[in-house]
Amino acid sequence: MDNSQTGVTAAKGFRAAGVACGLKPNNALDLALVVSDSDCACAGVFTTNRVQAAPVLYDKATLAHAERRAAIRAVVANSRCANACTGEAGLEDAGAMAEATAQAIGCRADQVLVLSTGVIGTRLEMPKIRAGIADAAKCLSRDGGADASRAIMTTDTRHKHSVLRSKYYVIGGMAKGAGMIHPNMATMLAVITTDAKIAPNLLDQALRAAVSQSFNSISIDGDMSTNDTLLVLANGASGYEIRNAQHVAEFTEALTAVCIDLAKQIVRDGEGATKFVEINITGAGNETDAARVAQAIANSPLVKTAIYGGDANWGRVVAAAGYSGVAVEPSKMELWFGDVNVFVNGMPTDFDEADSTRAIAGSEVFIRLDLGQGNARATVWTCDLSHDYVTINGKYRT
């Protein structure tokens, strides 16, 4: 994985910009624009929250038309305001963002997708947004990917971008997210670009496979956003076409690698996080059960606070597995903190408490729970829950 490049502009034919239009204080970057020099095949996945922000509704409606899925040219994104729970006026504002972008770069409004992130329930400051879009269009550059990824940050402490270069094409992306991170779907905002040539239906197939192993396998706090969106744009500028099953499999593997990299960056930057936690469930009867157990453990406040405090409290882990909804059997379960086996056959082992404490003392913690019911497995990435998380979210709007 190559993170030394500029994310969404690493692939041929893409330019981007991040500008400050006054949505954030202190002249911070707050509006991003990503543009392809030619029409793109596009696929997207969106939050499954029943309360969906205006840009989510707008983008879903746009991508519902097959001819539009094959001709997307740009993505515009603002921070500071989610444009969620804003009614018809919010939908009009999302459409106005697309129209302003289309006029600025010279395409149709239905070739522009819109992203927003920030506080729920407030209207977009459209005069500032329009001015920002005009400025961003003038600043578009092959070197603009880093600024674009900074412009979509909210409580993020670092911008997130990733690049993978194959022999034939490049895939690059940017993402934002630090809180309200939980499956199902994408659990943040992300834009991924590629210069591979691929039909929209195959791109959608690859994206959904990649998401299941990446963004749907992370959780920070168990809260699902109203704005979660992941868009992939493919402009074919490399000249390499994904045209058969082997090509699709190889492209899906590459796309998955980029998605996993971005997803892990989100977890490592979780609000108030001090530890990156990998939870591996093995020996499950099926993958669905494995994922349910992993997510129950990942979302347990008691597990997460114990990890933050350096308390190797194995009881909280097995208890979370027990209420996951999966018919686990304690007598068949085995639990490890790192390489320390702490629980087997329904009882604690004769482990050294100092060893188990040491296993969760570092910045990266690995937990493995074998259910003893089959061969299926799942991995979920999460983080600890610290005092700072409460501080950040207790004053989010102030």
Q: Which residues are catalytic?
A: 187
Q: For the chain, what is the radius of gyration of the CA atoms?
A: 22
Q: In DSSP terms, which residues pair with 52 in a beta bridge?
A: none
Length of the chain: 398
Q: Using alpha carbons, select from 19, 114, 124, 116 the residue that is nearest to residue 76.
A: 114
Six-digit token pair at 43?
């696929």
- Residues 6 or more apart in contact with residue 354 via CB below 8 angstroms: none
CB 34 within 8 A of CB 172: no
Q: Cα–Cα distances in Å, from 275 out to 35, 113, 267, 360, 385?
A: 36, 35, 9, 9, 9
**Amino acid, res. 286:** N
Q: What's the angle, vertex CA 160, arms to CA 157 and CA 164, rounded to 5?
A: 160
CB 33 within 8 A of CB 17: yes
Number of H helices, E strands in the chain: 12, 14
Q: Cα–Cα distances in Å, from 360 out to 348, 356, 365?
A: 17, 7, 5
Q: Using alpha carbons, select from 360, 320, 363, 311 the residue that is nearest to residue 336.
A: 360
CB 365 within 8 A of CB 267: no
Phi-psi map region of 260: left, alpha, beta (phi>0 left; psi -120 to 50 alpha): alpha
Six-digit token pair at 377?
């497995």
CB 136 within 8 A of CB 32: yes
Q: Using alpha carbons, select from 59, 25, 31 the residue that is nearest to residue 127.
A: 31
